[in-house]
């Protein structure tokens, strides 16, 4: 997906429409807008991971949320077991664990099933997600925990009268760096092109000397990285329980990816922000409906898939 | 009245005009062939006639009735059957089960009745089984009746596919490369079988074929497509020897060669006559 | 649970002589005896566990219709079931209707709701539809089941046992009868033109259409049947537990349903019934087998038990893959070594220089969690090694009972085939 003028225009237009819509319809405008943007980090990163895996392998990765939850737990444990590496060291450890998880999943499950129908792989990743959640419940019990933030100041930034914590701002900054880096990777580096090539034509790619196995490992490792970042950046902003990022982020993440056009990385990013808005809207405006966010998300997903299945920025697949 | 007629069918896929003004007619009890190099739009035309593609313009008539708007299964209900290039069968089921499935429209009981297992449905199932076995015998497939389709040799698969189509009791069958993968002996058998089917079951046949001897032996009329357009039509031998057709398959040099040979043949005949 | 074996008998009566049929009938008799006699050989309360297993079996069959016959994936099946549970509970406890009416309403509403989703599936296909069902399930649990007037809010909706609060055994036989009915309809369906149409359209919709099958109509039919069965299962489930509570119908539950159906073996009724019942009864079995529960409660034993399970799993994997007797792969060797070390560290402290205190602090693997952990592991094994699931193992036996010769490979399935259509 090229980061060209059309894409950028569409992204900006969508964002503008979003802000405008929120400003007009939201009951608590400031809260909706500010929360919508600042809480978008986990949704965007999960959506990016989903879009990446789908674009490169055609698989719907239901374990994407768990990459994040595993990272949160790893961060928590690292602070508990070896506080002497410092917070940054702990974050690094957590992200590495998530990457390792991604690589393990690729090697143990995805590769043996590489010839299987995509639906089978979906079920397999769902099974992995459940296994991960079950293990967390087993080892950690179903209680809510808290891990301290990277940056704890809450009132440095104030937008539209609402305080945005340092942690959230950090998340947004890292997220933007990641998105730009990914775009550069896919558009400009030969490795990135190799990934795209192997997704469309694995046999020919092999013949060109590119190892499809390595590419597959790279993709899933990247996906683990994205998941890990989501966990590490967003996890500390609240309490977390086993399966946190799956129960909170999986359905919205998928909706976001589909919204943006499941093969478009900038689209996934845009979709993440959109979904974040919808969730915020659901909490404020839709507070009279029980489970407002879930309801709005469902309507949005059904609507998009019915009306424009290729999403906002997706081309035909 | 023709059994099947397509009138000026055109279709575009994005920027590609895949078919332009394809007009084909199949008369009653006729066997009509469609030839042409790969990518000429033969299967595309089949897909338009059977309803899998919607043409951008043109019409399809079946026994005089305009069926251009009808869905695939509705055309099947009217009596149009077809085979597929990569063998269209339910591979997870047995041969007999495929033939039972094919008799879907023939079934005399309703869905609910079938779900409760009423006596009516049971009796009907027995009748359908007998009909299926009759078709299997016609196609010399009785020994394979209970075999799973998956794993059967390619030649048998093609025969089973034809049997399945026959079980739908069609008026016309559209065969997509029925002889592909067959050697000369099997092609000969296939030709015999097609002629026999026409005779015994009152079938009209429209077939895409590459195997020229089969086409010249069996077809009453032939159309040649190239790049989505009709290049030539008529008697099989005449079409085969038509220089334009030769060029489409084998290139300009071959055409010039064919024209040269045709001139020499004419000269020889003139010389003899003189 | 070989109630399912009975239909197969009639479907494929084999060639065994009268004398050869005797041992087969005997085996069938024993199985029937176990199924019918179980409630009398155990405490009355245990029958609730058996009834739950039956409810799970019905639910498994409903998902099998969707996943195995129609070829559509539902990641919100807990919602289908929950709708049935609440419908029945509401009708009986709020509207004062008899149980039968409750079940019928549950079936109708379950079918209708599934039909609506089916209509959606006609426009949105494959993996995208899976997403919609996922979102639907999440929405149902939060929003639909949050309508307090219908669902009783946090306390749930009461769903009383029609025979009385303690009539556990009676309820079991009722459930058994319902399962029998569902099995009969399923069997009858698949032998009729509708069943053939479903199988055809699942595998090859283009060919199905060219044979005259209205793909859209029959897809909808499949959805409605699936939803109807799910509603019935939900009613059975709720009235067994005594209430319908929205907390229960979560994504986790949906995953368990999907896993138990796939592990049971798609398109294999006996397998699905056994697989689903197994999932429901695992915890019960662990509790009842003497000494086994104790092993799970004591953390000291958890690691060795896990190690044993992993070992066993690896062995089975290698055997099924035909590699037993050959030198195991490096990864396998490393894994085994780690497991052995961990086990030693626990059993014989001091032999391995590990920080024992932290290992000892590992929490016990309770039966509940055991099921959650075992499920996905079984699923992944089935997907990679045993595509026919439990059904693949059962089919040789059921065919033998039906009169054929015993043949190990008669249940063999090439791969777990849901649907050929790609997103």
Contact B90 C204 (CB under 8 A): yes
pLDDT in tens, chain C (423 residues): 333 333 333 344 566 677 777 888 888 889 889 888 888 888 888 888 999 999 999 999 999 999 999 988 888 999 999 999 999 998 888 888 889 999 999 999 999 999 999 998 888 877 788 888 988 998 888 888 878 777 776 667 888 888 888 888 899 999 999 999 999 999 999 999 999 999 999 888 999 999 999 999 999 999 999 999 999 999 999 999 888 888 888 887 888 898 889 888 888 899 999 999 988 887 787 677 665 555 555 555 555 556 666 666 666 665 555 555 555 566 666 666 766 666 666 556 556 555 555 555 556 666 666 677 777 777 877 777 777 788 888 888 888 887 777 777 777 776 666 664 433
Confidence (pLDDT) at C390: 84
How far is CA C384 from each of CA A166, A252, B87, C388, rounded to the nearest angstrom? 46, 29, 28, 11
∠B196-B162-B169 over CA atoms, to 5°?
80
Cβ contact, residue pair C196, B84, below 8 Å: no
The CA distance from A97 to C108, in Å, is: 48
CA-closest candidate to residue B79, choices B105, B47, B110, B53: B105
| A146 and A137 Cβ atoms separated by less than 8 Å | no
At A45 the pLDDT is 93
pLDDT tens, per residue, chain A with 317 residues: 455 666 666 666 666 666 666 666 666 677 777 888 888 889 999 999 999 898 888 888 989 999 999 999 999 888 888 888 888 888 999 999 999 999 999 988 888 787 777 777 888 888 888 888 888 887 777 777 887 777 777 777 777 777 778 888 888 889 889 988 888 888 788 878 777 777 777 677 777 777 778 888 899 999 999 999 999 988 888 888 888 888 788 888 888 888 887 877 888 888 898 888 888 877 776 666 667 777 878 888 888 777 776 666 665 44
Which of A60, A123, A291 has the CB atom closest to C258's CB atom?
A123
* DSSP letter assigned to residue B207: E
Nearest-CA distance C337 → chain B (Å): 42
Question: Given this model, what pLDDT does residue A4 score?
Answer: 60
Flag whether A209 is in a domain. yes
Strand partners, B19: B11
Tell me whether 0.95 is exceeded by the ipTM.
no
Which residue does chain A place closest to C331, by CA atoms?
A108
**Residue A100 covered by a domain:** yes
Which residues from C are below 8 Å from A242, CB to CB? none
Do residues C318 and C324 lie in contact, with contact meaning Cβ atoms separated by under 8 Å? yes
Asked whether the beta carbons of residue C210 and residue B88 sit closer than 8 angstroms, the reply is yes
Q: How far apart are the first and last CA of chain B?
A: 46
B164 → chain C, closest CA residue: C211
- SS3 category, C253: helix
Closest residue to B104, CB basis, from C206, C211, C414: C211
CA distance C278 to C180: 18
Cα separation of A257 and A311, whole Å? Answer: 8
Cβ B111–C203 below 8 Å, yes or no?
no
Note whether A130 contacts C252, CB cutoff 8 Å. Answer: yes
Closest residue, chain C, to A128 (C-alpha) = C376
Minimal-distance CA residue of chain C relative to A112? C384
Structure tokens at A208: 């060109």
Mean pLDDT by 10 residues, chain B (274 residues): 92 90 94 91 93 94 94 94 90 92 88 84 91 91 90 89 93 92 87 92 92 91 93 91 84 79 84 63
For an interface test with C, give the residue of B72, B118, B168 to mutate (most C CBs within 10 A): B72
Closest Cβ–Cβ partner in C143, C369, C380 for A295: C143
**Are B208 and B34 spatial neighbours (Cβ–Cβ below 8 Å)?**
yes
Token representation of residue C93: 């406890």
Chain B residues with CB inside 8 Å of C200's CB?
A: 90, 93, 101
And the tokens for A202?
């694995």
Contact C422 A118 (CB under 8 A): yes
A86: in domain:
yes
* pTM, two decimal places: 0.84
Contact assignment for C131 to A247 by CB distance below 8 Å = no
Quote the minimal CA–CA distance from A268 to chain C in Å: 15
C211 contacts chain B (CB < 8 A): yes
Q: Which of C189, C193, C221 sits opposite B104 (nearest CB)?
A: C193
Q: Does C122 touch chain B (CB under 8 A)?
A: no
Nearest residue of chain C to residue A286 (CA atoms): C143
Q: Using CB atoms, which chains have 3+ pairs under 8 A with B?
A: C
Q: What are phi and psi of B183, to 5 degrees?
A: -85, 180
Domain annotation covers residue A8: no
C contacts of A64 (beta carbons < 8 Å): none
| Digit-coded pLDDT (tens) for B209-222 | 988 889 999 999 99
Integer Cα distance of A47 and A253 in angstroms: 5
> Tokens at residue C298, please?
């004591």
Tokens of B115: 């779900």
Residue A205 lies in a domain: yes
Residue A270 lies in a domain: no
Tens-place pLDDT, residues A195-246: 777 777 767 777 777 777 888 889 999 999 999 999 998 888 888 888 888 8
A172 lies in some domain: yes
Which residues does chain C have within 8 Å of residue B97's beta carbon, measured at their own beta carbons?
196
How many C-beta neighbours within 10 Å does residue B265 have?
A: 11
Q: Distance of CA B151 to CAs A123, A205, B145, B157, C101, Å?
A: 27, 31, 14, 9, 49
CB contacts of A297 in chain C (<8 Å) are 135, 138-139
Q: CB distance A134–C136 less than 8 Å?
A: no
Per CB-CB distance under 8 Å, the chain B contacts of C196 are 93, 97, 100-101, 104
Across the interface, whether the CB atoms of B50 and C191 are under 8 A apart is answered no
Alpha carbon distance B216, A293 (integer Å)? 68
Q: Is A215 within a domain?
A: yes
- Closest-CA distance, C71 to chain A, in angstroms, reads 10
The structure tokens listed for C234 are 């939900």
CA A259, A264, A268, A271 dihedral sign is negative
Contact C14, C402 (CB under 8 A): yes
Q: What is the 3-state secondary structure (H, E, C) of B70-104?
A: CCHHHHHHHCEEECCCCCCCCCCCEHHHHHHHHHH
Q: Do A290 and C143 count as a contact with CB atoms less than 8 A apart?
A: yes
CB atoms within 10 A of CB C184: 16
Minimal CA separation from C413 to chain B, in Å: 10
C143 closest CB neighbour out of A134, A139, A294 = A294
Number of compact structural domains in chain A: 1
**Phi and psi at residue B34, to the nearest 5°:** -125, 115
CB contact under 8 A, A131 and C130: no
CB contact under 8 A, A116 and C138: no
CA distances from C183 to A276, C71, C84 (A): 45, 19, 18
Residue among C184, C209, C417 minimizing CB distance to B72? C209
SS3 category, A82: coil
Distance from the Cα of B149 to chain C's closest Cα (Å) equals 13
Q: C210 vs B89: CB contact, 8 Å cut-off?
A: no
Task: Tell me whether residues A124 and C372 touch, CB distance under 8 A.
Answer: no
C204 touches chain B (CB under 8 A): yes
Give the range of the structural domain holding residue A92, as residue numbers without chain letter.
33-243
Which chains neighbour C (Cβ–Cβ under 8 Å, 3 or more pairs)? A, B
Q: DSSP characters for A222-241?
A: HHHHHHHHHHHHHGGGS-B-
Which one of C6, C188, C192, C218 makes the best mutation probe of the B interface by having the most chain B beta carbons within 10 Å? C192
Token digits of residue C138: 């999440």
Q: Do A130 and C255 touch (CB under 8 A)?
A: yes
Contacts of B82 in chain C (CB under 8 A): 210
**Could you tell me if C116 lies within 8 Å of chain B, comparing CB atoms?**
no
Q: For B121, name the nearest residue in chain C, comparing CA atoms only.
A: C192
Q: Is C200 touching B (CB cutoff 8 A)?
A: yes
Write the residue in B82, B109, B115 that is nearest to C210 by C-beta: B82
Query: Is C75's CB within 8 Å of A247's CB?
Result: no
Contact list in B for residue C209 (CB cut-off 8 A) is 51-52, 71-73, 76
Of the partner residues A133, A138, A294, the one whose CB lies closest to the CB of residue C139: A294
């Amino acid at each position: 997906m090229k980061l060209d003028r059309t894409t950028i225009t569409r992204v900006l237009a969508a964002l503008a429409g979003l802000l405008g819509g929120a400003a007009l319809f939201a009951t608590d405008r400031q809260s909706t807008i500010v929360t919508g943007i600042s809480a978008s980090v986990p949704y965007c990163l999960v959506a990016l991971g989903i879009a990446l895996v789908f674009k490169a392998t055609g698989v719907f990765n239901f374990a994407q949320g768990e990459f994040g939850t595993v990272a949160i737990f790893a961060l928590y444990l690292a602070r508990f077991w070896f506080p002497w590496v410092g917070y940054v060291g702990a974050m690094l450890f957590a992200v590495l664990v998530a990457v390792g998880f991604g690589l393990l999943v690729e090697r143990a499950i995805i590769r043996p099933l590489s010839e299987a129908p995509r639906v089978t792989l979906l079920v397999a990743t769902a099974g992995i997600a459940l296994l991960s959640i079950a293990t967390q419940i087993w080892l950690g019990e179903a209680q809510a925990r808290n891990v301290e933030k990277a940056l704890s100041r809450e009132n440095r930034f104030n937008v539209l009268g609402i305080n945005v914590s340092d942690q959230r701002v950090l998340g947004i900054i890292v997220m933007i760096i990641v998105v730009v880096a990914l775009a550069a990777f896919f558009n400009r580096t030969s490795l990135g092109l190799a990934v795209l090539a192997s997704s469309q034509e694995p046999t020919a790619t092999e013949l060109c000397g590119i190892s499809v196995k390595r590419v597959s490992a790279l993709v899933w490792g990247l996906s683990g990285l994205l998941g890990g970042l989501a966990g590490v950046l967003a996890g500390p902003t609240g309490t977390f329980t086993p399966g946190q990022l799956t129960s909170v982020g999986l359905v919205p993440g998928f909706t976001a990816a589909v919204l943006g056009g499941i093969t478009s990385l900038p689209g996934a990013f845009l979709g993440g922000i959109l979904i974040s808005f919808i969730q915020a809207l659901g909490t404020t405006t839709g507070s009279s409906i029980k489970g407002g966010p879930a309801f709005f998300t469902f309507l949005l997903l059904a609507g998009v898939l019915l009306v424009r299945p290729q999403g906002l920025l997706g081309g035909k697949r | 009245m023709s059994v099947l007629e397509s009138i000026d069918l055109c279709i575009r896929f994005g920027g590609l005009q895949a078919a332009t003004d394809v007009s084909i007619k199949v008369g009653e009890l006729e066997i009509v062939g469609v030839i042409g190099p790969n990518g000429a739009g033969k299967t595309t035309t089949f897909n338009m006639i059977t309803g899998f593609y919607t043409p951008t313009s043109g019409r399809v008539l079946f026994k005089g009735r305009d069926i251009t708007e009808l869905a695939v299964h509705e055309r099947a209900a009217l009596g149009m059957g077809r085979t597929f290039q990569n063998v269209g069968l339910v591979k997870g089921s047995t041969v007999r089960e495929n033939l039972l499935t094919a008799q879907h429209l023939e079934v005399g009981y309703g869905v609910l009745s079938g779900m409760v297992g009423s006596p009516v449905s049971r009796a009907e199932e027995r009748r359908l089984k007998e009909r299926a076995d009759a078709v299997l015998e016609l196609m010399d497939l009785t020994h394979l009746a209970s075999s799973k389709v998956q794993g059967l040799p390619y030649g048998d698969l093609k025969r089973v596919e034809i049997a399945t189509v026959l079980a739908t009791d069609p008026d016309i069958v559209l065969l997509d490369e029925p002889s592909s993968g067959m050697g000369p002996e099997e092609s000969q058998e296939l030709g015999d079988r097609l002629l026999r089917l026409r005779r015994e079951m009152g079938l009209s046949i429209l077939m895409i074929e590459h195997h020229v001897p089969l086409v010249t032996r069996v077809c009453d009329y032939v159309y040649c497509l190239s790049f989505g357009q009709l290049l030539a039509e008529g008697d099989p031998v005449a079409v085969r020897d038509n220089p334009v057709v030769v060029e489409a398959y084998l290139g300009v040099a071959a055409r010039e060669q064919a024209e040269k040979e045709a001139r020499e043949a004419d000269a020889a005949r003139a010389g003899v006559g003189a | 649970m070989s109630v399912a074996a009975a239909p197969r008998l009639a479907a494929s009566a084999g060639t065994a002589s009268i004398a050869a049929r005797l041992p087969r009938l005997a085996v069938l008799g024993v199985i029937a005896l176990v199924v019918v006699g179980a409630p009398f050989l155990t405490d009355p309360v245990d029958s609730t566990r058996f009834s739950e297993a039956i409810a799970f079996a019905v639910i498994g069959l409903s998902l099998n219709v969707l996943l195995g016959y129609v070829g559509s994936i539902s990641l919100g099946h807990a919602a289908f079931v929950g709708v049935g549970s609440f419908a029945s509970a509401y009708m009986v406890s709020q509207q004062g209707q008899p149980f039968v009416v409750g079940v019928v309403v549950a079936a109708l509403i379950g079918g209708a709701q599934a039909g609506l989703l089916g209509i959606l599936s006609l426009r949105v296909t494959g993996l995208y539809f899976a997403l919609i069902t996922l979102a639907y399930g999440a929405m149902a649990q939060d929003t639909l089941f949050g309508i307090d007037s219908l669902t009783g809010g946090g306390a749930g909706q009461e769903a009383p046992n029609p025979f009385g609060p303690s009539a556990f055994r009676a309820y079991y036989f009722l459930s058994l009868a319902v399962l029998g009915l569902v099995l009969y309809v399923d069997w009858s369906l698949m032998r009729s033109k509708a069943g053939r149409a479903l199988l055809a359209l699942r595998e090859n919709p283009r060919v199905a259409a060219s044979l005259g099958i209205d793909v859209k109509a029959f897809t909808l039919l499949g959805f409605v049947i699936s939803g109807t069965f799910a509603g019935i299962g939900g009613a059975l489930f709720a009235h067994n537990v005594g209430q319908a509570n929205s907390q229960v119908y979560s994504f986790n539950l949906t995953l368990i349903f999907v896993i138990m159906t796939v592990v049971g073996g798609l398109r294999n009724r006996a397998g699905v019934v056994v697989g689903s019942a197994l999932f429901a009864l695992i915890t019960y079995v662990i509790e009842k087998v003497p000494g086994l529960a104790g092993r799970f409660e004591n953390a000291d034993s958890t690691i060795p038990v896990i190690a044993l399970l992993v070992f066993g799993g690896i062995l089975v994997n290698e055997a099924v893959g035909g590699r037993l007797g050959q030198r195991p792969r490096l990864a396998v060797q490393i894994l085994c070594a780690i497991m052995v070390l961990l086990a030693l560290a626990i059993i014989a402290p001091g032999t391995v220089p590990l920080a024992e205190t932290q290992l000892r602090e590992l929490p016990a693997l309770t039966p509940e969690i055991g099921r959650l952990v075992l499920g996905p592991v079984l699923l992944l094994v089935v997907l990679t090694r045993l595509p026919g699931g439990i059904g693949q193992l059962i089919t040789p036996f059921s065919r033998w009972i039906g009169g054929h010769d015993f043949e190990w490979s008669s249940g063999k399935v090439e791969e777990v085939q849901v649907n050929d259509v790609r997103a």
